[in-house]
Structure 1
């Protein structure tokens, strides 16, 4: 099965176009103000309007208030909600149902975490997928770190691999984990929030190579 790819932390129109041109399956818009990849609603609205059909727009939220999400969805067409904070399964379901959206949960792979049990908590609640990211005590994604890929489980829910992915290691990552999808941000940037279009192309080439083996 072909491995899907999402390029996250898009802040500029030209970067969004580069992602589309490279053949990625989704773009990620970060609606978390402390993040250096945060995108204002007005800019996100412009980006979303230029994304063609069959490329999904994912909105990343970290412990967001319901009114904040409502305001964003009023202006920005999102296909999927990505919860990247301490949201419980019940909170994820409640928010997603209010807006009629599919959702998935990002889980940071901590050393002491019962990863399988944590995944199943959100799977039981109706998550469309689970994103597994490297753990950092302060940052919520975009750390540039990677966890031990040998810990990557095989379960009956789509799993997304994130954390420390680059054009140089994404093929190996896919071959090692057999992940449903990969999610990259910092690995294709010249600076935080500013994408390198050549790196995006190379990353997608790596994805295709990993999928073909």
Structure 2
């Protein structure tokens, strides 16, 4: 069954709504140089992660420039997994893996030439529509057929992101058959605030698409 991650949670109310909707993972953004209403400070990130219940995965989403910077953030927030956007090379991801116990999700563009290198040093790949600054959350889709080819060719789990909404997630799941789907802006009422009804529909539609293809 395709899993669901809701990213960019900024307060307790939205976190709890995401969990209640049946999402498998909650993404908290901290330590990114791009301008986004979804980023929270270290203390808030740690509090949000601490409130994620057992059997739901908390994910720190960050853009470190060094391995040590990533380690410091992970140690401070204590998530179940860390999602790394830009900044670290595949070899540096390998170094990070040796210093933390959390799973590492590496974010790549669907047309990146070094995807296989990142796959060799990560526990999962998140394929997103990445902007010029290396950040995701653009609200733009990419070539799902190309991502399906990655799913078929890589040994690591592939997470599909980029422009997903409650209206198109079923088609995305049916086309790509990813390990998981990830959404941020596609389920918001405004920047940084989740539309709880949209979150519920997103989770439901992603799940039903998986059941329909079984």
Q: Residue 140 in 1 paired to residue 125 in 2?
A: no
Q: Among residues 105, 118, 124, which one is paired with 1:122 in the alignment?
A: 118
* Closer, same or farther: CA 190–56 of 1 in aligned 2, 3 Å: same
Alignment of 1:169-188 (within 5 A): 169-188=168-187
| TM-score (normalised: structure 2) | 0.90
Alignment-derived partner of residue 59 in structure 2: 58
Name structure 2 gaps, 5 residues minimum.
none
Offset at residue 33 of structure 1 (A)? 4.6
CA contact (8 A) 1:8 1:29 kept: yes
Cα shift readout 1:70-93 (whole Å, capped 9, x = no counterpart): 443343221111111131111111
CA contact (8 A) 1:135 1:147 kept: no
Q: Among residues 124, 144, 148, which one is paired with 1:149 in the alignment?
A: 144
The number of equivalent residue pairs is: 206
Offset at residue 150 of structure 1 (A)? 1.4
CA contact (8 A) 2:71 2:99 kept: no
Offset at residue 157 of structure 1 (A)? 1.8
Q: What is the rounded CA distance, in whole Å, between the counterparts of 2:74 and 2:129 in structure 1?
A: 28
Q: What is the rounded CA distance, in whole Å, between the counterparts of 2:13 and 2:127 in structure 1?
A: 28
4+ residue runs over 4 A deviation? none
Moved more, 58-67 or 171-180: 58-67
